[in-house]
Chain A
Amino acid sequence: MITAEQPIIISIVTPVYRGAHYLRALSAELVQLKETLDHPHSPLRLGEVIFVDDDSRDGSITVLRELTEEHPWMRTLQLARNFGQHPATVAGILHTSGDWVCTMDEDLQHRPMDVLSLLHKVTQEQQDICYATPTMGSHSAFRNVSSKVTKIVMAMLSGNKAIGKFNSFRMIRGSIARAAASVVAHQTYFDVALSWYTNRICVTQIAMSDMRAKTAVKSGYRLKALVRHAGRLFQSLELKTLRYAAVAGVLLMLAALAVAAFAVGSRLLYPETIALPGWASVLVSIVFFGGATALLAGLILDQIYFISQKMRGRPVFFVVNRETDTTIANWLASHISSRS
């Protein structure tokens, strides 16, 4: 809860997987960001940076321990095994105290000073989440295209327009970040859980480049992990196809009734037009029962979906406090303009 006398705290969460190479440079930029935010007249404070080591095994943990010693506001969580980027992000978020939580990668694709742009955009527009969107594709051409295609297909199937905006560089209102993280299950896509809490989502363009590709360091999360990532997104969505199946069933049943009415009418009024008796009954039966089956399957799947959403902890409502957004936006506006 934010009060007038207290600073507004920003927490940064960075999942780390095979990122030892970048951590020193990243921490130097984070120190620079902290100096900017902890300005004497600033209402803001960079309260903590939480690194979540996702069982890197490349020496990342040693570097992180050194950084934690040097900067007490940096903290490290070490996961027991490699869980993946989303679980690592969720673990970090569940350890934050900030009014705003920013998640960013460790490989300098996301630059700490861009946190200010994200925060400015999200508070200026009184939104709850701001995703960074790269000015150009930030990864390899294959990864950029496959990611885009996956998101378009998922958006079409689910009707969730926010999917196209999803990016791991995001600024989230702290209470919403923690609430969504607390209901995330094994196969829940974190950004989908966020969209259960708010639809105030904006994007801002930020220059990004794949530093791993440039520096020829192996990508932290490889193809297998990315496929798992897409699978998690698919499983988390409210798939409209379930409802389409029920609607298709109703339409088939109506069509079957229409054909049956036509066949009965023909039999009574124009019996001479029926060359081969029996076909209409067979056709009507198949179409009707096919439609009924599709309708029942759709209804059952819809109920299963409803139960699964309840079990996953999808909220009925959620309360937020946006009172300090204008204060933040005004300070950042004056600060960003004075810097430029």
Chain B
Amino acid sequence: MRIFRLNTNGSSRTVGLIGEGLIGSAIAASLNRHQPVSSDIHFPSYHQNDLDRVWTTINEYLLKFKTSGAVDWIWSAGKAGLLASEEECAREFSFFEAFLDRLFQHRNNCNDRLHLVSSAGGLYEGQRLVTHQTKPAPTKAYGHLKLRMEDRAGAQFKHCHIYRPTSVFGAFKPGHRMGLITTLMVNAYQQKTTLVWGAPSTLRDYVSATDIGQFIGGAVLSETKGNSTTHILASGKPTSTQEIVHLIQAITQKQLYLRFVDATNSADITFAKNNDYSPHWQPENLETTVRHIHHQLLGL
């Protein structure tokens, strides 16, 4: 977890980032461009027993940064994935609730804004041509968890901004999640077999963590009015696993070894990019992003 103190457009903003995984680290990179003063708070296991200690530290930093106004809290934490069990999801929700309770306890100021990173994949699983008008219809515990988190956040915060990214991929970071595309690239170089949950023709909508980080970072810094919003962060281009495989083989010039597991999450999830997307959401072309990550991987 990290607290940022940023000076943008002549005003100071304090941002608390909870969770620095694939998306969280991209948000941090986006915020870091504004040369903030930032402080890490050791919060490795995201365990409820740590919450009191963590909040004591947060308060110390808020005092140190002379934070008087509202704070933007970005929640991008979470270990559960699409195939997480009921128990894992229940544990995660309980931690989320506990954090929000502490937040209200310590900052009895409802002007704080919450930016919640949710999951379009979990909420719209099996639905095609999803738009902002499409109702979420989760089919798994993970999707229900995300919906409950959104409901809880929306009920508790007057200014709640929800981001629903689709299938995310990002730069290679050992020991961290990186998404299917980067995993395939890394495994191509390591000549490892990749387990793919789905069929070659399974359609997904891939977006890069960098694009998401830039969008959320920008939204956090530009947010002044504080209306609650929900954003679907999709590219609008359905892509089959086979297309990804072909693209990666062409870019890496390596043979991919794959094992397809036709599991319950092999249903297509696609998004129709209509005019109801935020004009600030401009995801980069898939092939360009994959080439960029490939360059990063090779250290170029």
Which residues of A are at the interface with B, using a C-beta cutoff of 8 A? 1, 3, 6, 9, 47-48, 68-69, 72-73, 75, 94-97, 175, 178-179, 182-183, 313, 318-319
Residues of A within 8 A of B273 (CB): 75
Verify B274–A72 contact, CB threshold 8 A: yes
Residues of A within 8 A of B268 (CB): 1, 97
- Chain B contributes a number of interface residues (CB within 8 A of A) equal to 28
User: From residue 60 to 82 of chain B, which have CB atoms closer than 8 A to chain A?
Assistant: none
Verify B240–A1 contact, CB threshold 8 A: no
Which residue on B lies nearest to A69, using beta carbons?
B275
- Judged by a CB distance under 8 angstroms, whether B103 is at the interface is no
Residues of B within 8 A of A96 (CB): 238
- Say whether chain B's binding surface is mostly helix, strand, loop, or mixed: loop
B279 to chain A, nearest CB (A): 14
Verify A68–B243 contact, CB threshold 8 A: no
A48's partner among B247, B272, B275 (CB-CB below 8 A) is B272
A68 with B275, Cβ < 8 A, contacts A3-B267, A47-B128 known? yes
A313 with B246, Cβ < 8 A, contacts A9-B128, A75-B272, A96-B238 known? yes
Verify A179–B202 contact, CB threshold 8 A: no
A95 with B238, Cβ < 8 A, contacts A3-B126, A47-B128, A72-B274 known? yes
B118 to chain A, nearest CB (A): 22
- Judged by a CB distance under 8 angstroms, whether B203 is at the interface is yes
Which residue on A lies nearest to B237, using beta carbons?
A95
Residues of A within 8 A of B270 (CB): 97
23 residue pairs from A and B, CB less than 8 Å apart? A1-B267, A9-B129, A47-B128, A68-B275, A69-B275, A72-B131, A73-B129, A73-B272, A75-B273, A95-B236, A95-B237, A96-B238, A97-B272, A178-B203, A178-B238, A178-B240, A178-B242, A178-B243, A182-B247, A183-B246, A313-B249, A313-B250, A319-B200
Residues of A within 8 A of B126 (CB): 3, 6
B199's partner among A3, A9, A75, A319 (CB-CB below 8 A) is A319
Verify B243–A94 contact, CB threshold 8 A: yes
- Judged by a CB distance under 8 angstroms, whether B201 is at the interface is yes
B22 to chain A, nearest CB (A): 25
Residues of A within 8 A of B128 (CB): 6, 9, 47, 97
Bound Cα distance A241, B299 (Å): 46
Verify B272–A1 contact, CB threshold 8 A: no
Top 6 A-B pairs, shortest CB-CB distance: A182-B243, A175-B201, A97-B270, A97-B128, A97-B238, A313-B246
Bound Cα distance A69, B274 (Å): 9
B240's partner among A6, A9, A182 (CB-CB below 8 A) is A182
- Judged by a CB distance under 8 angstroms, whether B119 is at the interface is no
Verify B129–A97 contact, CB threshold 8 A: yes
Bound Cα distance A178, B241 (Å): 11
Residues of A within 8 A of B267 (CB): 1, 3
Residues of B within 8 A of A68 (CB): 274-275
Bound Cα distance A9, B267 (Å): 14
Verify B129–A94 contact, CB threshold 8 A: no
Bound Cα distance A97, B270 (Å): 7
Verify B266–A179 contact, CB threshold 8 A: no
B239 to chain A, nearest CB (A): 8
Bound Cα distance A327, B129 (Å): 22
Which among A47, A48, A313 has the highest number of chain B CB atoms within 10 Å? A313
A1 with B129, Cβ < 8 A, contacts A72-B274, A95-B238, A97-B203 known? no
Verify B243–A1 contact, CB threshold 8 A: no
B246's partner among A1, A47, A75, A182 (CB-CB below 8 A) is A182
B282 to chain A, nearest CB (A): 14
B106 to chain A, nearest CB (A): 44
A1 with B266, Cβ < 8 A, contacts A9-B128, A178-B201, A319-B199 known? yes
Which residue on A lies nearest to B198, using beta carbons?
A1
